[in-house]
A and B are shown apart, each in its own frame.
Chain A
Amino acid sequence: MMPGLRSAIMLVWLAGFGISAAVGNCRAGDGLSSLSSDQASREAIILQHSEPAYFINNMVARLWGHVQSEMPRVKVHLVQDAVADARSYPDGAIYLTTGMIAHTRNEHQLALILAHEITHYTRRHAKVVSDSALSATHRFFHLVNEAELEADREGLSLMRRSGYCPQAGVTVMTTFPDSLERLTRATGMLDPTDEIACRNGAQSDRDYTFHVAPALLADAWSAVTKGMWRQASEDIERYLSVRPDDPQAHYLNGEIAYRWRRQTDQAISSYKKAIDLDRSFVPAHSALGFIHFKAGDLKSARRFFEISLALSPHADDNDYIRSYLQLCSE
């Protein structure tokens, strides 16, 4: 192939995916792939000052204490997006989606993902790969693969040094499609002495779920808007297992039951649970109104619509409620 044509093809490929997408390749989708660090900070919905964000950055502090580098410490930004993605940038920013959190079941799995991305940053993989972007195609892909291999290997080592359990961490790879080869490779990097460290484990899976629960709820909302119903359902189930008294979660559970599973009775039960927990929770009243209206039970619909309007006279969907209420009266 002519060198000029080869370079042109590479430029088109890179333009489509972004140089930063060539490394930090933990993604299972295209959530952050088209964004640079600046764009991600502007366009993405970032859950700043949230409990999971503090929890994650505490984990980063623990990992960073064992990093041998003079580079500035990374900062992790948690992005509300149901598509699983984790991406590091040369400026030290790591963007992690709630979809990626949803794939993790314990602290060790999240530690592996963070350690992997930290390694991409400290080894300057983005620069190495981008410098080779205009050279031979096979060299470019070779460097990308090498970067991923190093991030897996050194990420596991960083986990180990920081007191996390690599054996528990690698299991996160089973949650992604087409990752058998990667899991097999990573399992081969485990050390027999890891087992001892793993026995002195970190917090329980339930404790972990409690700390990241707000991220799971945010992820469920994102998943609903994308029609990723199964993920939304799993998120809510996990969330409610540690925070059963949240009316918003029961409401969302009702939405999933009604809009995806077509289980009206279960939806009504969930909406009513939300109201039992908070009698002023307007979305649940509105949802019950909509269900009864569609079912032709105009008397019940009217009751719930009037409660909604009284509780929140300026809610976003009030124009719709008033129009349906008018039909109830006719």
Chain B
Amino acid sequence: MQRVRTHRGTWCTRLRALIAVVLIAGLQACASVWQPVQGRIDSSRWSIEGPKGWMRLVAPDFEMLSRDGPYLQYIFVQERSVSQEFKHTGQRLEPDMLPHEMARVVIDNLKNDKRVKGFRLLKNKPVQVGGLSGFKLVYVNRDNHGADLKTIYYGAINGDTYFNLRYTAAQRHYYEAGLNAFEQVFQSLRLSCDP
């Protein structure tokens, strides 16, 4: 008996096709979350030279670069509104803050973060960040899993935004292994006031 194709059958077929397209698109998206770094990475107000051999994760609020995996080491780039709240302190940044004032808010936010255990500040000094007056922090801490981490944190206010560039890695082996690449990224940083 010849099979009659009904209206309902057509609808089911189209639905199955739609689901298949969504799944394929989703899988494609997952596969492309981490991408190889290729040359210069540009955003509206900052750009850096990506380190060769590293992978890049692009998220709406930040970018992350890693060579050995983010649980071992990563470079974190973020630009956010100056008025955006911090999670672990009620203090806020202000556009006219001096570098030591910015650094203080960031340090207090870190100290009040329950996930950052054994926080110890090793260095806190003024530096030029992409040509702007900013600050550099170096600190160590343990994460929730007991891993010893070390971070270099650069920050500066750029008009109505706050820019920060960080390098975090497991103190044992991985910190030193990626340090050169991070220093080159920092040296290549360009900040622009124009959106």
Decide if A320 touches B90 in the complex (CB within 8 Å).
Answer: no
**Distance between A170 CB and nearest chain B CB, rounded to angstroms:** 30
Q: Given known contacts A225-B108, A226-B112, is B90 in contact with A319 (CB within 8 Å)?
A: no
Decide if B98 touches A293 in the complex (CB within 8 Å).
Answer: yes
**Distance between B8 CB and nearest chain A CB, rounded to angstroms:** 36
Q: Which residues of B contact A226 (CB under 8 A)?
A: 88-91, 108, 112
Q: How far is the CA of A227 from the CA of B96 in the complex (A)?
A: 18
Decide if B100 touches A228 in the complex (CB within 8 Å).
Answer: no
Q: How far is the CA of A229 from the CA of B112 in the complex (A)?
A: 15
Q: How far is the CA of A320 from the CA of B101 in the complex (A)?
A: 10
Decide if A317 touches B98 in the complex (CB within 8 Å).
Answer: no
Q: Given known contacts A294-B98, A324-B98, is B111 in contact with A225 (CB within 8 Å)?
A: yes
**Distance between B128 CB and nearest chain A CB, rounded to angstroms:** 10
Q: Which residues of A contact B111 (CB under 8 A)?
A: 225
Decide if A290 touches B90 in the complex (CB within 8 Å).
Answer: no
Does A316 reach chain B (CB closer than 8 Å)? Answer: yes
Q: How far is the CA of A316 from the CA of B92 in the complex (A)?
A: 22
**Interface 0/1 of B98-135, CB less than 8 Å to A:** 11110000001001101001100000111000000000
**Distance between B47 CB and nearest chain A CB, rounded to angstroms:** 26
Q: Given known contacts A316-B124, A323-B126, is B98 in contact with A43 (CB within 8 Å)?
A: no
Nearest-neighbor residue (CB-CB) of B107 within chain A: A225
Interface size for B (C-beta < 8 A) is: 19
**Interface 0/1 of A179-201, CB less than 8 Å to B:** 00000000000000000000000
**Distance between A223 CB and nearest chain B CB, rounded to angstroms:** 9
Decide if B98 touches A290 in the complex (CB within 8 Å).
Answer: yes
Residue in contact with A227 in the complex, picked from B90, B125, B126, CB distance below 8 Å: B90
**Interface 0/1 of B60-100, CB less than 8 Å to A:** 00000000000000000000000000001111100010111
Decide if B125 touches A228 in the complex (CB within 8 Å).
Answer: no
Decide if B100 touches A320 in the complex (CB within 8 Å).
Answer: yes
Does A48 reach chain B (CB closer than 8 Å)? Answer: no
Q: Given known contacts A43-B117, A323-B126, is B91 in contact with A227 (CB within 8 Å)?
A: yes
Decide if B114 touches A229 in the complex (CB within 8 Å).
Answer: no
Q: How far is the CA of A203 from the CA of B112 in the complex (A)?
A: 35
Q: Given known contacts A43-B117, A319-B126, A323-B126, is B90 in contact with A229 (CB within 8 Å)?
A: yes
**Distance between B133 CB and nearest chain A CB, rounded to angstroms:** 8
Does A34 reach chain B (CB closer than 8 Å)? Answer: yes
Nearest-neighbor residue (CB-CB) of B125 within chain A: A319
Q: Which residues of B contact A319 (CB under 8 A)?
A: 124-126
**Interface 0/1 of A221-242, CB less than 8 Å to B:** 0000111110000000000000
Decide if B112 touches A225 in the complex (CB within 8 Å).
Answer: yes
Q: Which residues of B contact A43 (CB under 8 A)?
A: 117-118
Q: How far is the CA of A320 from the CA of B111 in the complex (A)?
A: 21
State the A residues within 8 Å of B (CB).
34, 43, 225-229, 259, 290, 293-294, 316-317, 319-320, 323-324
State the B residues within 8 Å of A (CB).
88-92, 96, 98-101, 108, 111-112, 114, 117-118, 124-126
Closest 4 CB pairs of A and B: A227-B90, A320-B100, A227-B91, A225-B108
